[in-house]
Amino acid sequence: MGDYVTIGPARTWYEQHGDGGPLVLLHGGMVDSRWFEPNLGPLAERFTVYTPDLRGHGRTADVDGPITFQAMAEDMIAFLEQAVGRPADVLGHSVGAFVWLLVALQRPELANRMVLISGGFSKDGDAVPDAPWDLDLLEQFLGPAYAEVSPDGAEHFRVVAEKVGAMSEREPYLPVAELAKVSHRTLLMVADDDLVTLAHMVEMYDAMPNAELAVVPGTSHFLTQEKPGLVNRLVLDFLTQDPVPTVAPIRRAPAAA
């Protein structure tokens, strides 16, 4: 059974599942929290899992004005404060991953551990930088799922798609030096054939002081659906186990006195 929390102009829909410490899952652009259906059950066995829909997505209505990463980050800051009420582990896919990165920079005390899947820190990481934002193709592929639940109606899909497309022309963007400020223990996960390049994810891994990196073989941007068992195992291992002392650390070698 879903609920709503009013956050500024947005009335954010979410569901809550399971029992344990809080874990908030945040979907990518042009989809909604149903994206995590293959992952929800195993995670809810260990955590209280919150699954909000971003503004203009799923069961959260669109609001006047553009959709931006900063607006979504502000929504999620308020969501953590109002709906969760305490610091939480966070997991984001694609757009959701960059939203959590902004939250970690702006309100670091609200996030514990982070899992960032298939989301880079700048447009430089796009694997296909010149790919057209084809509204007709998007509507054919994603429009029916949007129409099933959107309070704005099926005809509003193209409005949201145009807003997300305008955002995607210039965002995400962070200077790589900003990543050094993210001290949270973070699992960066990417498919080996993703919309973000492996080189970009390695650059992100190198820049974040407390990051770990997982490349899921034989998958694409849909890795959470293509190999949900493997993705779930990696996420649960990260969230339920302390870091192990490695035998031959290089990147994590203690600094010389």
In contact, 13 and 52? CB cutoff 8 Å: yes
**Phi and psi for 6 in degrees, rounded to 5?**
-85, 125
Q: What ranges in the chain are assigned the alpha helix state H?
A: 37-44, 69-79, 95-106, 135-149, 157-168, 198-207, 223-226, 228-240
Q: List the chain residues with pLDDT less than 70.
A: 1, 255-257
Q: Beta strand 47-52 with 10-17: parallel, antiparallel or unpaired?
A: antiparallel
Output the pLDDT for position 159.
98
Q: What residues does 190 pair with on adjacent strands?
A: 215
What CATH number was assigned to the domain covering residues 3-240? 3.40.50.1820
Give the C-alpha separation, 181 to 179, whole Å.
5
Give the C-alpha separation, 174 to 178, whole Å.
7
Output the pLDDT for position 1.
66
Domain residue spans in the chain?
3-240
In tens, the pLDDT along 123-137 reads 999 999 988 999 999
Q: Beta strand 47-52 with 186-191: parallel, antiparallel or unpaired?
A: unpaired
Output the pLDDT for position 133.
93
Q: Rounded to two decimals, what is the model's pTM? A: 0.96
In tens, the pLDDT along 61-110 reads 999 999 999 999 999 999 999 999 999 999 999 999 999 999 999 999 99
- Do you find a cis peptide bond into 209, omega within 30 degrees of 0? no
> What is the residue type of 159?
V
* Those residues with Cβ within 8 angstroms of residue 128's Cβ, 6 or more apart along the chain or in another chain: 195
